[in-house]
Amino acid sequence: MKYFTPKSLDAQNIICETEQRKHSFQRLPDIYKNSIRKEVWDLSENNAGVSIHLNTNSKNLKLKWRVKLDFEMNHMTDAGIKGLDVYECVNDQWKYLSTGLPNSNKNEHLIKFNDVNKKTLCLYLPLYDSIVDLDIGIDDDSNLKFIKNANKPIVFYGTSITQGGCASRPGMAYTNIISRNTIYPCVNLGFSGNGHLETEIGDILSKVDAKCFVIDCLPNVNTTEIESQVIPLIKSIRKKNDDNPCPIVFIEQPTMHDSYIDEDVSKKNFLLSNEIKECEKLGFRDIHLIGQKGCLGTDYEATVDGVHYNDIGFQRFADHILKNMRGII
């Protein structure tokens, strides 16, 4: 077999891809290391949402990857944390193909196809670990070409749920589901436990030529942060393009159960709605709010622990966002 080693320039769903990175698929380039909190920087090295798209006519595809952390969590599968997902585009629709299951920090996965016809594939990288080395092997007499979506991205900024906790495999993070169901790349800037509506992240977003920004931070913030941070975050995102702004969409925090009222969540959602109304009074255009009602269904089967979504929850949440984004993008 012959092997190809993709770099950040070959990756999809990544911002500032021309800037220097210590590891090719870290979500933020090295220039931002000293401008954001260490906790956020460390999480930015995880590869959530990053994908590799390629065309090949090989009958065999071998994936070799090495991860940095090689750790485990008690509420998320190893496949979701540090595995690889492969999808194939068939008749203009992305279909699940295979998962590279990790066994250690160094892993291999072989996919065998039935023919040598050209195939368009998408490889999703780990949600909660960082790839140090990635090699893609094909048959010696075949070809491979990395491809990219040239459309402006939808950029998501949020929490552990945005990052993909706790999808069973990388392709089931809600940003990845949305990316398969729109014509736009979806950049995942979910930072587990650290989606705090920070203007430092807004400064980074202001440099991105995006189709839309989606802010899903409410599970990580308190009422004080909502009242003090929402408008400054919007100002930091808009400081370079307020004359021709792209939409900014905020998402309410889901109420997990109907049998009791989570007063804290209800208050946070109420305050967020008030801040959006205040933005309108201040003259900000194209600021939107997606409500939480119905976003996870009514059977209470959408989470692994009452907080983090399972695959059912991620599919329902993605469908809810896609439905409510119609007319915005």
Confidence check: pLDDT of 279 > 60: yes
Give this prediction's pTM.
0.96
Give the closest residue to 164 by CA, choosing from 152, 176, 153. 176
pLDDT of 16 reads: 87
Query: Count of alpha carbons within 13 Å of 291, Cβ hemisphere only?
Result: 5
Q: 192 vs 256, which has greater pLDDT?
A: 192
Where residue 255 falls among pLDDT bands split at 50, 70, 90? confident
Q: Is 84 helix (H, G, I), strand (E, B) or coil?
A: strand
CATH says 154-325 is which class? Answer: alpha beta
Residue type for position 149: N
pLDDT digits (tens, 9 = 90+) for 48-102: 999 999 999 999 999 999 999 999 999 999 999 999 999 999 999 999 999 999 9
Report yes or no: 317 and 174 within 8 Å, Cβ to Cβ.
yes
How far apart CA 100 and CA 171 sit, in angstroms, is 12
Q: Is domain 2-147 given the CATH code 2.60.120.260 in the classification? A: yes
pLDDT single digits (tens) 13-37:
999 888 899 988 999 999 999 999 9
Distance from C-alpha of 231 to C-alpha of 107, rounded to nearest angstrom: 45
Cβ-based neighbours of 79, under 8 Å, separated by 6 or more:
85, 99, 101, 102, 168, 169, 170
Residue 180 CB neighbours (<10 A): 18
10 — phi, psi (to 5°)? -90, -10
Domain residue ranges of the chain, discontinuous segments joined by +:
2-147, 154-325
- Choice among 63-67, 175-179, 262-266, 294-298 with the minimum mean pLDDT: 262-266
